[in-house]
């Protein structure tokens, strides 16, 4: 599963306001609510499951990347939201560096293989320095989305 398979332009924030990983998770989940990817009534339950997963071990994997994720029975399809922070977010990352790119994704409960495959795919593409640099320099959501779409074709 490629990023562009479950990420739309409207699910990208070019300027996250969050100063820590908890705020970033809430901001990205709110974006999913606004865009109809998750029901407003499920917002708090989904925030809770993502934060619980994040509390077990930070998904700040280094290189300025955070990939908060969780499985939940409150969604039917893989979905996600992507955010960029120009100032950096304290994500308690493995390399102790601030995170600039946050890819939050949710997978329906019970789809363990899809969860692992999606996580691996996201980590692989975000580890490409040129890809990260392009996303950080993009002017707006449309340009970021095009970069993501173009990457899946290569």
Catalytic residue list: 69
Classify burial at 73, counting beta carbons within 10 Å of its beta carbon; exposed 0-12, middle 13-18, buried 19 or more: exposed
CB–CB of 78/7 below 8 Å? no
Residue 144 to residue 152: CA distance in whole angstroms? 13
Residue 50 to residue 21: CA distance in whole angstroms? 11
Residue 25 to residue 13: CA distance in whole angstroms? 12
Residues near 145 by beta carbon (within 8 Å), at least 6 away in sequence: 4, 7, 8, 9, 12
Query: What would you report as the CA-atom Rg of the chain, rounded to the nearest whole angstrom?
Result: 14
Helix (H) / strand (E) element for 62: namely: strand 60-62
């Amino acid at each position: 599963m490629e990023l562009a398979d479950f990420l739309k332009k409207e699910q990208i924030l070019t300027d996250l306001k969050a100063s820590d990983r908890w705020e970033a998770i809430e901001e990205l989940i709110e974006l999913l609510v606004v865009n109809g990817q998750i029901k407003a009534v499920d917002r708090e339950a989904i925030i809770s499951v993502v934060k619980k997963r994040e509390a077990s071990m930070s998904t700040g994997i280094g290189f300025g990347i955070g990939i908060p994720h969780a499985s939940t029975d409150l969604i039917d399809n893989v979905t996600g939201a992507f955010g960029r922070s120009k100032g950096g977010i304290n994500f308690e990352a493995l390399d102790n560096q601030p995170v600039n790119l946050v890819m939050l994704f949710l997978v329906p409960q019970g789809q363990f293989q899809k969860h692992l495959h999606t996580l691996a795919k996201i980590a692989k593409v975000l580890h490409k320095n040129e890809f990260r640099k392009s996303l950080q320099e993009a002017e707006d959501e449309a340009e970021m989305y095009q970069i993501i779409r173009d990457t899946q074709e290569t």
